[in-house]
């Protein structure tokens, strides 16, 4: 099993019917079909709050939930995670479980300024896949639940994160890096296919510019 250093008081261990998520959001047939095809069951594993872990809430984060999503196949559509995240107003750390392996996932999620029971969901970040017995995770890092959540997100973000910057800045920088990587892949494909020397030179100059931009924000 996945080893998280959490007090017994935080354990919920309650199975949640899959249809509760897509019915609440009135999801279409395609998303329902993905739930049926990819997800075996969902367990609300832990609740992190002042009462369960003795860490103070912040203004916008009263609780953090930990859900186990047991998979029928190793790949999971991000739409399913987004559906669950939109149905629950609190941040969620997902433990994706497939056979004898697991992966952690979390979204950069913010409480809606207009609706108290809704949140906006941005980029997702994932750990590697691990064997159940191979890793123990210490996730309670921070003086309040906002800090605990931000450290969860930073821990799963790829590359080195500059902790002096805000989490929003780190997320924006990562999204910018992803966009540049897509541009770099596009230019590399163009260079490979292009037969005219002048065009190859033009694409290569653009590629070098994008590579420098990526290096500067990495």
Query: For the stretch 182-212, what's the b/e string if a residue is b when 16 or more beta carbons lie within 10 angstroms of its beta carbon?
Result: ebbeebeebbeeeeeeeeeeebeebbeebee
Q: How many CA atoms lie within 13 A of 49 on its CB side?
A: 11
* pLDDT of the residue at 60: 87
Instruction: Give the tokens for residue 55.
Output: 């860490």
pLDDT, tens digit only, all 218 positions of the chain: 677 889 999 999 999 998 888 777 777 888 888 988 999 999 999 999 999 999 999 988 999 999 999 999 988 999 999 989 988 889 999 999 999 899 999 999 887 666 666 678 878 999 999 887 666 788 899 999 999 999 999 999 887 655 657 888 888 888 888 888 899 999 999 999 988 989 888 988 999 998 988 887 76
Q: Which residue stretches of 74-158 are H helix? A: 78-87, 145-156
What CA–CA distances, in Å, run from 48 to 8, 97, 197?
11, 20, 60
Three-state secondary structure call for residue 28: coil
| pLDDT number for residue 172 | 84
Strand partners, 105: 94, 126
Q: Helix crossing, 145-156 with 167-193: angle to 10°?
A: 20
Structure confidence at residue 102 (pLDDT):
93
Helix axes 78-87, 29-38, angle to 10 degrees: 110
Report the alpha-carbon distance of residue 17 to residue 63 in Å, rounded: 21
CA-closest candidate to residue 80, choices 29, 129, 38, 136: 38
CA-CA distance, 66 to 145, in Å (whole number)? Answer: 13
Helix (H) or strand (E) holding 105: strand 101-111
Per-residue pLDDT at 5: 84
User: Looking at the chain, how many residues does it have?
Assistant: 218
Residue 170 has what pLDDT?
84
Question: Whole-model pTM?
Answer: 0.82
Distances (CA, A) of 95 to 73, 82, 155, 196, 216: 14, 14, 14, 50, 33
Alpha helices, DSSP H, located in 157-218: 167-193, 197-217
């Amino acid at each position: 099993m996945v080893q998280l250093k959490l007090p017994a008081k935080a354990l919920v261990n309650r199975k949640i019917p899959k249809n509760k998520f897509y019915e609440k959001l009135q999801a279409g047939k395609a998303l329902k079909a993905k739930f049926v095809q990819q997800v075996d069951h969902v367990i609300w594993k832990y609740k992190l709050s002042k009462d369960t872990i003795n860490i103070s809430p912040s203004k916008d984060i009263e609780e953090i939930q930990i859900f186990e999503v047991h998979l029928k196949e190793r790949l999971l559509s991000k739409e399913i995670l987004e559906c669950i995240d939109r149905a629950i107003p609190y941040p969620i750390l997902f433990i994706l479980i497939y056979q004898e392996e697991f992966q952690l996932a979390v979204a950069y999620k913010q409480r809606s300024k207009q609706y108290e029971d809704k949140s906006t969901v941005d980029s997702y970040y994932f750990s590697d896949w691990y064997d159940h017995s191979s890793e123990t995770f210490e996730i309670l890092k921070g003086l309040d639940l906002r800090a605990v959540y931000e450290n969860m997100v930073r821990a799963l973000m790829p590359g080195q994160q500059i902790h002096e910057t805000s989490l929003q800045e780190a997320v924006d920088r990562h999204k910018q890096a992803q966009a540049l990587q897509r541009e770099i892949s596009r230019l590399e494909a163009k260079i490979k296919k292009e037969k005219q020397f002048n065009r190859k030179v033009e694409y290569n100059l653009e590629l070098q510019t994008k590579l420098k931009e990526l290096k500067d924000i990495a």
